[in-house]
Amino acid sequence: MKKMRLDYSLTAPEITAEKLSAFAQTVKDARNMLVNKNGKGNDFLGWLKPQDIVSAEDFANIKETVKRLKKSCDTMVVIGIGGSYLGARTVIEALGDKSGIDSVIFAGQTLSVAYTKELLETLESREFCIAVISKSGTTTEPAAAFRILKELLISKVGEEVAVERIVAITDPDRGALREMATEKGYETYPIPANVGGRFSVFSAVGLLPIAFAGIDIDELILGATESYNALTADDNPMTNKALMYAAIRNILYREGKKSEVTAIFEPRLHYMIEWWKQLYGESEGKDGLGIFPVGAEFTTDLHSMGQCLQDGERTIFETFVVVDGGFDPINIPKVSDNLDGLDFLVGADIDAINKSAFMGTVLAHRDGDVPVLIITLPDLSAKSIGELLYFYQFACGVSGYILGVNPFDQPAVEDYKTNMFALLNKPKYEEKGKAVRERVENTLGKFIVD
């Protein structure tokens, strides 16, 4: 069976055999720190062996929970932000909801009033359950959404039934959500203490919603496990695609390529880009370092960002993620006139045209001095997506260690929250609130153009 492949042919002339050879030991050292669990942040490597993140008992129970919920519910609302929802959404959007409707809806990832209003209106006609995902239970966005949606659920079915329709995925021992779940009697699954949110897609965080959408979680884990076996067994960057990817992006970074554009030609991979942006942005962007992760969806963005990508400042490189096959053909029809000039495409398959657009773009951007990597998936299946996501996770750990940072912490993500809590008068933030409000008054609104 075909597997995912990495083609780095079009990273030359920036990447040469000599550079890769000179960099090989650095890459091996980083790989060994990850596999041997002796690098920075090694207490957050519970994701490294994907088949062991969830116990066999919990894996079976997840399937039983889905069966139980589907007897009375047509919709699951997943409440979470960042890694608590992006992994599940990536898989579901890529593979499609197998239930025939949008049976998994996401909340708690935004504070938008318009989004919340539309969500509440949608749920009025749905029989829904809730999967609330948070290690602490106090993160503002999901906590606010849970309050609102829990009350809606209670108003529809009563408190006793609502308890049966709420599943909490949270810290196994502590935190507000764990305390609430114990008090109310919600069914629970653990977020392993040694797995960070952005690495949690193969835990219950991802598996419960993915299973509710009717996707085969056995195949997903199989793809990740096969990837783990291959990537951990080989320490040679020339034959290990994750090590090669980590090596190339760090060599390019050291030579002034400060941004990586991950580009797709399949819209169903849109949330894979969003997941990738969090994974690499949060893992590498620290200590004044890090490749800036950018996403592009082609051919759409070729008509907006194309000029800059082709001819702008040469500080970028591109990684294309494409799907080799597995699509039913849709052909261009013959019409009575040729006013649009498309008769040369009569009988051509849309996917073949898309692949020609992809190759044309790759060659054009390489001609524009953009180094190009190509990741090719054999198809859009649970197994292939599992392999892709694990590849990215493993390569991220190696790449972060090459960069010299701790890939598994996020020391700066709380900064905006501190200011927000101060402005909202959260208890214990009163003194900070005064200073923040004074800063807003003294710095914003002084120079305005109407």
Which domain-ending residue is among 200, 215, 230?
A: 215
Q: Structurally, how many domains does the chain consist of?
A: 2
* Sheet hosting strand 75-79, strand order edge to edge: 104-107, 75-79, 128-133, 166-170, 187-190
| Furthest-apart CA atoms within the chain: distance in Å | 75
| Token duo for residue 156 | 């529809």
Judge whether 393 lies within some domain. Answer: yes
Residues 281 and 189 in one domain: no
Judge whether 84 lies within some domain. Answer: yes
Q: What is the pLDDT of residue 249?
A: 97
Nearest-CA neighbor of 396 among 277, 239, 258, 298? 277
Exposed / middle / buried, residue 6 (Cβ in 10 Å: 0-12, 13-18, 19+): middle
Give yes or no for a cis peptide into 182 (omega within 30° of 0): no
Residues 282 and 239 in one domain: yes
Residues 324 and 371 in one domain: yes
Answer left, alpha or beta for residue 216, where phi above 0 means left and psi between -120 and 50 means alpha.
beta
Question: What's the gap between Cα 348 and its chain centre?
Answer: 34
Residues 365 and 258 in one domain: yes
Residues 247 and 100 in one domain: no
Which domain-ending residue is among 199, 215, 231?
A: 215
Nearest-CA neighbor of 253 among 293, 308, 294, 290? 290
Judge whether 416 lies within some domain. Answer: no
**Kind plus residue range of the DSSP H or E element containing 179:** helix 176-184
Rg from Cα positions in the chain: 24
| Token duo for residue 273 | 């880009």
| Token duo for residue 277 | 């942006």
Residues 200 and 243 in one domain: no
Residues 29 and 110 in one domain: no
C-beta of residue 405 within 8 angstroms of C-beta of residue 244 = no
Q: Which residues contact 423 (CB under 8 A, 6 or more apart)?
A: 433, 436, 437, 440
Residues 279 and 327 in one domain: yes
C-beta of residue 365 within 8 angstroms of C-beta of residue 318 = yes
C-beta of residue 137 within 8 angstroms of C-beta of residue 169 = no
Judge whether 442 lies within some domain. Answer: no
C-beta of residue 27 within 8 angstroms of C-beta of residue 235 = no
**Active centre residues (catalytic):** 282, 303, 417
CATH code, domain with 80 = 3.40.50.10490
Q: What is the pLDDT of residue 403?
A: 97
Exposed / middle / buried, residue 441 (Cβ in 10 Å: 0-12, 13-18, 19+): exposed
Full pLDDT tens readout for the chain, 450 residues: 678 999 999 999 999 999 999 999 999 999 999 999 999 999 999 999 999 999 999 999 999 999 999 999 999 999 999 888 999 999 999 998 877 678 999 998 988 999 999 999 999 999 999 999 998 888 889 999 999 999 999 999 999 999 999 999 999 999 999 999 999 999 999 999 999 999 999 999 999 999 999 999 999 999 999 999 999 999 999 999 999 999 999 999 999 999 999 999 999 999 999 999 999 999 999 999 999 999 999 999 889 998 999 999 999 999 999 999 778 888 888 888 888 888 898 888 888 888 999 999 999 999 999 999 999 999 999 999 999 999 999 999 999 999 999 999 977 556 666 777 766 667 767 667 777 777 777 777 767 777
Residues 184 and 249 in one domain: no
Alpha-carbon torsion (257, 243, 245, 16), positive or negative: positive
**Kind plus residue range of the DSSP H or E element containing 79:** strand 75-79
Judge whether 68 lies within some domain. Answer: yes
| Token duo for residue 151 | 């009350």
Where in the sequence is the domain holding 187, given as residue range(s)? 50-215
Judge whether 413 lies within some domain. Answer: no
C-beta of residue 104 within 8 angstroms of C-beta of residue 222 = no
DSSP per position, 114-152? HHHHHHHHHHTTS-EEEEEE-SSS--HHHHHHHHHHHHH
Residues 185 and 67 in one domain: yes
Which domain-ending residue is among 215, 248, 279?
A: 215
| Token duo for residue 141 | 């966005």
Judge whether 129 lies within some domain. Answer: yes
Q: What is the pLDDT of residue 422?
A: 66
CA angle 322–323–329, rounded 5-degree value: 130
Residues 269 and 326 in one domain: yes
Q: How far apart are CA 354 and CA 24, in angstroms?
A: 36
- Long-range contact pairs involving 411-414 (C-beta distance under 8 Å, separation at least 24): 411/286, 412/286, 413/282
Backbone angles phi, psi at 316, to 5 degrees: -125, 160
Beta strands in 194-302 (DSSP E): 259-264, 292-297
Judge whether 438 lies within some domain. Answer: no
Residues 192 and 253 in one domain: no
**What DSSP designation does 410 have?**
-
In the three-class reduction of DSSP (H, G, I as helix; E, B as strand; rest coil), residue 402 is classed as helix
